[in-house]
Amino acid sequence: MAAGDNPFPDTPFVTMDGVAAGGRATVVTSAVRTARELIDARAGGPGSGGLVLAIVGEPGTGKSHLAGDLVARTANRARTEPGRSRQLRVDGAAGGFARAYSETLIGELIREEVLGDLVEDYFADVTASHLERLDGLRDRRELIEGLRARHYDARKVIERFYLSESEIRDELRRRLHDVTGRDDFSRALALLHQGGFQTEVWAWLAGLPPSEALRERGIVQPIEGDLGAFAAFGTLTMLFARQGHRLELFVDEFDAIVPSGPGREEVVRAVKKLADVFIEAGGLLVFCALPSTYQSLPSGLRDRAHEVRLAPFGQAETEDVIRLYQDGGLFPHTPHSAAEIRRLSGGNPREILRLLHRTWRPAPELTAGHIRASLRVEPLERAAGHAEVRRVIEDALVSGGWRPQSGVRMAGTTVDHWIRLAGNKAVAVLVADSLIDEDDVARVRRRVVALREEHPATEVVVVTRGYAAPEDARAVAALVGRDVLAAGDDLGDAVRIAVEDARRRLSAFAQDEMALVLEGLERANLQHIETQRLARAILGEVSAGFDRLAAAVPAPATPGGAPAGPPPLPPRIEEHFAAASSALGLLTDTRSMFAGLFRPKGPDAPAARGVPRERRLTPELYQAIGVAVLYRGLLEEFRAAVAAWFRDAAPDRTPGPAERDELHRICFDFTTAAQRLPLFQLDRIAEQAPFAEPDDGYRRITRSYRRATVKSALQGLGDRVFRAAVDPAPG
């Protein structure tokens, strides 16, 4: 990194996979040491005891980071101490466990052919047991042990000694049933080994209804919903364990798995059963959860799990963060400025990094006063920024059916938005610049107290458009009875929710029921009018946007004026970008959306496998296509930046320290930006395509395979490019 560059990330969000891929420093706290010791002691190899580890903490305390650290730790140990473990990761469980199971876990098992190899182990073991029962062969211990160790091919042994393969297959199915206790699984896995049914079996394992061929062979029920997925994965875990293998499952954002509404108790019981299976099977289950979610789990599950609770950073850990990002040095920070960073952030690691980025400057030495001053709103920006926040709030209130008065002067203060309700009640929205010390809290307190003295039946909502230190925000929240809202992308929604909550509180003490009814009718009418206005405005913007796009499209290039292709890269670098581009293309082929639209129709048309899905174009599909376009653009810009670096850094020699720092910054910026794009949305292009070919088991399981391939190709791309670029070996 060049001298004078800000060393701290502007978007300090990490994913479990991102940390595991490398490049993220870890502050070793007592919680980190405890988690590492538990992993090392209880998951050292096949045959060791099972472990369920719960990483518990508030948002931003480092749950994903610690999980990623443990992922890398177990993966490194597996490389240095070869065993029979299989690591699986669910980096965010949006859509519940059923989706994570069918699209991530099963996809990984397909891509790596892990389950097929496992069934082959069982087949070899059954063949060895069969030999032990035969006269003349039971004494051939070397052959029998070689089969069990997979030194010999079971099929060749069957042919060599003229054994009955049908009898051995029947024994395989019985053995699988003894292990799983499920007739459907034993039949499906036996068919998987038999051959000819791979597509049908994989589709069934991924949650699709069984095909006619499977139904004819006794597999009639699909693996449905979260409960079915938990049971299926528990069955697979036990299958691996009985052959001396161990599954290691890491789940980030466990909270998304446990629903808050109907079905919660059943899912929680399924989670406990899966945890019991992992402990019995000697496996490793690590999950990240918020404290509220973890405490809501039954005591039986919490008693079996080892909890690692993440605490806020103290002074020493805050200074460690600074040193990790500044090559071991504290300057321009001092212990006093680090203490102020810790106070303002509440010790939250994510907030610490945000503040370090926002307040950083190369010189001179930073003080606590410098930190606070850099967080305050500049006087020249105050009026314009305040007006913008007011506008966002007013738009949100109007779209919600309210009639706010803005900039009302009363009780010796300015109320940014005043909403009158029935029965002489009201909701006031106050905007503050920042909350970073006691003086800021005192100013808000004076405004609230004066307002309530003049209008007692008033609920207050406070919005801060600057930084809000946790302890100061809590003081204001205690004063007004609700959390302080922060200006940001979701401010409008947050204000609508807060004002509606305030209205409900006031309505609980209402006396005039008719006034409340009339107020509700008026709001509904205003909301309808505002919705129509917004719809007309959106249509106008879309039309204008298409006009701008049409004007921006360049005319076709002439043969002599064709644009130049992308700049060349050394082959050792190009192969990483080619693999990433190819993998991304697996999920972003928008042409396939209309593959079934122009298929021949009518009585003379060739027989088709089904009717194309004529679905409407949904907002979710547009979002998915937008993510695809953004990721493709990000990848192309990353490649161009690396190509420019090679051009300037003279690729015929080993890059110097400054050049390495610059490339590291480029790769780090790509990784940070890529982690903010939700790749899982790309699946919707295939799932919701309006005129795609009809869905079937083959396409469903292929999508699961593609998802695993894309994850493998794009995960850690920035770090792989950096390592390949600075390697002096010729490409």
pLDDT tens string 361-377? 877 888 888 888 888 76
pLDDT of residue 725: 83
Distances (CA, A) of 344 to 65, 319, 351, 549: 22, 14, 9, 45
Q: Place 288 in a pLDDT band, splitting at 50, 70 and 90.
A: very high
pLDDT of residue 63: 93
| pLDDT of 161 over the 60 cut | yes
pLDDT of residue 521: 44
Q: Average pLDDT of 505-529?
A: 53
pLDDT of residue 277: 87
Which of the pair, 19 or 582, is modelled with greater confidence?
A: 582
pLDDT tens string 425-462? 899 999 998 899 899 999 999 999 999 888 888 999 99
Q: ∠558-562-567 over CA atoms, to 5°?
A: 180
Q: Average pLDDT of 255-278?
A: 83
Average the pLDDT over each of 3-17, 213-227, 258-272, 441-455 and give the range with the smallest value: 3-17
In the block, tokens 């789940």 appear at: 251
Q: From its phi and psi, is residue 92 left (phi > 0), alpha (psi between -120 and 50) or beta?
A: left
Q: How many CB atoms lie within 10 A of CB 654?
A: 12
Q: Place 8 in a pLDDT band, splitting at 50, 70 and 90.
A: confident
pLDDT of residue 460: 93
Q: So where are the chain's domains?
A: 26-77+84-109+236-309, 114-223, 315-375, 379-524, 571-726
Kindly give, in sequence order, each residue whose CB lies less than 8 Å from that of residue 185, ignoring residues fewer than 6 positions away. 176, 177, 232, 235, 239
pLDDT of residue 58: 93
pLDDT of residue 262: 72
Question: Does the fold of domain 379-524 match that of domain 26-77+84-109+236-309?
Answer: no
Contact 123, 115 (CB under 8 A): no
| pLDDT of 506 over the 60 cut | yes
Q: What is the CATH number of domain 379-524?
A: 3.40.1350.10
Residue 670's SS3 state is helix
Q: Average pLDDT of 199-205?
A: 87
Average the pLDDT over each of 40-44, 69-73, 525-529 and give the range with the smallest value: 525-529
Q: What is the mean pLDDT of the chain?
A: 77
pLDDT of residue 369: 85
pLDDT of residue 306: 94
pLDDT of residue 573: 86
Kindly give, in sequence order, each residue whose CB lies less than 8 Å from that of residue 80, ignoring residues fewer than 6 positions away. none
| pLDDT of 1 over the 70 cut | no
Contact 204, 188 (CB under 8 A): yes
| pLDDT of 508 over the 80 cut | no
Q: Which of 97-111, 129-143, 296-310, 397-411 has the highest mean pLDDT?
A: 296-310
Q: What is the DSSP string of 434-470?
A: -B-SHHHHHHHHHHHHHHHHH-SSEEEEEEESS-B-H
- H or E stretch at 252: strand 246-252
Cα gap 729→731, rounded to integer Å: 6
> Checking DSSP bridges between strand 425-432 and strand 51-56, what pairing results, if any?
unpaired
| Structure tokens given for 381 | 């920006």
pLDDT of residue 378: 58
Topology of the domain covering 26-77+84-109+236-309: Rossmann fold (3.40.50)
Classify burial at 397, counting beta carbons within 10 Å of its beta carbon; exposed 0-12, middle 13-18, buried 19 or more. Answer: buried
| pLDDT of 595 over the 80 cut | no
pLDDT of residue 29: 92
Average the pLDDT over each of 103-117, 270-284, 528-542 and give the range with the smallest value: 528-542
Q: Average pLDDT of 606-635?
A: 60
pLDDT tens string 27-37? 899 999 999 99
Looking at residue 386, its amino acid is H
